[in-house]
Amino acid sequence: MVEQILASHSILVKIFLGLLIAGLLIPMLTSKDPLSFKKFSFIYTMFFQAIITMIAFTGLIAMVMGEFGFTLSIIIMIVVWAVLMYIEIRKYRLIKMAKIQNEDTHKLLNGAFLKISAVQILLVAIMVLLMVLKVKGVISL
């Protein structure tokens, strides 16, 4: 049972990474259309928050059922999770509140979206790498 939940956790992390990478297309494809940028940012943040919530849910269930306790790797995952969620909420609030039809504002937020996504992708990739190294016994967390 714990194995199945962990497998779901792992698949969700990969789907999440796919979403982050696909999300890079939003600022790229809407660089000339501020209203579409705002609309797709909203749809994107909904999927982002839904998947990341499922990641936390499966992770917490696995933690409790597998009686892992708060190991260093789990503490790192929880911190990474909180940072990802915090950045995303701040980013979307900025886009939502902005006068997006102003060309400079749109340009600024377009660039910020790309940079923030790059940071989020890096964080998830590092986390996955750390867990792979842990499972292979290269590092002990």
Residue 114 interacts with ligand HEM (CB under 6 A)?
Answer: no
Degrees (nearest 5) of the Cα angle 119, 4, 126?
20
Q: Does 116 interact with ligand HEM (rule: CB under 6 A)?
A: no
Q: Return the half-sphere exposure (C-beta side, CA atoms, 13 A cut-off) of residue 61.
A: 14
Q: Is 112 in the site for ligand HEM (CB under 6 A)?
A: no
Q: Is 106 one of the binding residues for ligand HEM (CB under 6 A)?
A: no
Residue type, 129: L
* Cβ–Cβ under 8 Å, residues 41 and 95: yes
- Cα dihedral 63, 66, 67, 72 sign: negative
Q: Which is nearer to ligand HEM, 97 or 135 (CB)?
A: 135
- The single residue among 19, 24, 51, 78 that binds ligand HEM, judged by CB under 6 A, is 78
Site for ligand HEM (CB under 6 A): which residue of 19, 68, 87, 98? 68
Count CB-CB contacts under 10 A for residue 95: 21
- The footprint of ligand HEM (CB under 6 A) covers 6, 9-10, 13, 55-56, 59-60, 62-63, 68, 71, 73-74, 77-78, 80-81, 124, 127-128, 131, 135
